[in-house]
Structure 1
Amino acid sequence: MRLLSTFFLLLSSLSFQVSAASDLVVSEGWVRATPPGAPNSAAYMKISNLSSTPMVLVAARTLIANRVELHQSKMEMGMMKMEHQDQGLAIAPKSTLELKPGGYHVMLMGIKEPLKQGEQVMLILEFGNGELRELLLPVATGAPGEIRPVIPTQ
């Protein structure tokens, strides 16, 4: 009986995630290609919140890096500085958060092998409401103007 109730609890939570998924749209995602020996990379994308309530991207994870953090790059006193965003990244209602070079990004630290253009990286985004979004992102050099489709795995 306990197993059956656990199954239905899991099933109901999955149903919630599927219905809530329509409130978040991830587009133009990509991961920066790395030269041999480079220890880090970053993932970029646009996340649109179509709902009338604020959302927060609280974490991300992947198997290709030892550590993943949400960061912001910004210019301070003529120097580019990167800050860990330990409170997550807020996405206002009916708005889009852009993660891009020189701004907010998902930092992939301690990558396990070089990332080559044409490969794909699995990335899981976690939001404050418990929703998880599993993405398959292309590895690219980051040439401006390219459209990079995000392939959801769910």
Structure 2
Amino acid sequence: MKTLTLAAAATFLGLSLTASIAHDYKHGALEIGHPHARATPPNAPVSGGYLTIRNTGDAADRLIGVKAGFADRVEIHEMSMENDVMKMREVTDGLEIPAGGEVELKPGGYHIMFIGLDSRMAEGETRTATLAFEKAGSIEVDFSVENIIKMKERMSKDGHADMDHGDMDHGDGGHGGMKHGG
């Protein structure tokens, strides 16, 4: 009996460690994968947040907001090319997560902007933010802070674009040489 209990405990512990390493969350019909944010140099005013949201349900939902105690404000942004100019704009009506579909927030596309950081975001730490969904409600998630090199390595392994919002000069309020707005 003692051996069975130890085996069960080891299995449970192994599953718990796997879940924490995987860095995924389940919230109703939504699965939130690998929330991470870009490490920043000292005094940087902004950082980008990235994750994947999969909707396993039969109805669409929307990411309608994000709150974080470590930033003055948080916005959902979209980057796109228009007439050979990279533009970034806030998504003001939320981000739809289609039924049975998935949305990836990543550099060069949809992403979360943490604006007015209270301190440097250092590699290896985690920062907690609350994601608010129209139907599923709110969930707290931990964003692991990663350096740009590790983010690029993972993205190239996953076959994602090499565009990185963090490579831009943030000296003008956090938006580099891009045009911001509608």
Count of aligned residue pairs for this structure pair: 128
- Relative to its length, the structure with more helix (as a share) is 2
- Equivalent of residue 139 in structure 2, options 97, 111, 133: 133
Distance in 2 separating the partners of 1:130 and 1:29:
18
Segments ≥4 residues shifted beyond 3 Å:
none
Q: Letter of the aligned partner of 1:67 in structure 2? A: R
The answer for the alignment partner of 2:116 in structure 1 is 110
Q: Larger RCO: Structure 1 or Structure 2 (Cα < 8 Å, ≥ 6 residues apart)?
A: 1
Q: What do residues 72-120 of structure 1 show as CA deviations (whole Å, max 9, x unaligned)? A: 0111222211110000000100011100000001110011111010010
Larger radius of gyration: 2
Q: For structure 1, which runs of at least 5 residues remain unmatched after alignment? A: 1-19, 148-154
- Equivalent of residue 78 in structure 2, options 69, 72, 80: 72
Distance in 1 separating the partners of 2:54 and 2:65:
16
The answer for the alignment partner of 2:55 in structure 1 is 49
Q: For structure 2, which runs of at least 5 residues remain unmatched after alignment? A: 1-25, 158-182
- Is 2:55 the partner of 1:58? no
Distance in 1 separating the partners of 2:30 and 2:139:
9
Q: Letter of the aligned partner of 2:154 in structure 1? A: G
Q: Letter of the aligned partner of 1:76 in structure 2? A: E
- Relative to its length, the structure with more strand (as a share) is 1
- Is 2:31 the partner of 1:25? yes
- Is 2:40 the partner of 1:34? yes
Q: SS in structure 2 opposite 1:144? A: helix
- TM-score, L = length of structure 2: 0.67
Contact 2:28 2:136 in 1 (8 A): no
Distance in 2 separating the partners of 1:73 and 1:50:
26
Deviation for aligned residue 1:123 = 1.0
The answer for the alignment partner of 1:12 in structure 2 is none
Q: Which moved more, 1:72-81 or 1:108-117?
A: 72-81
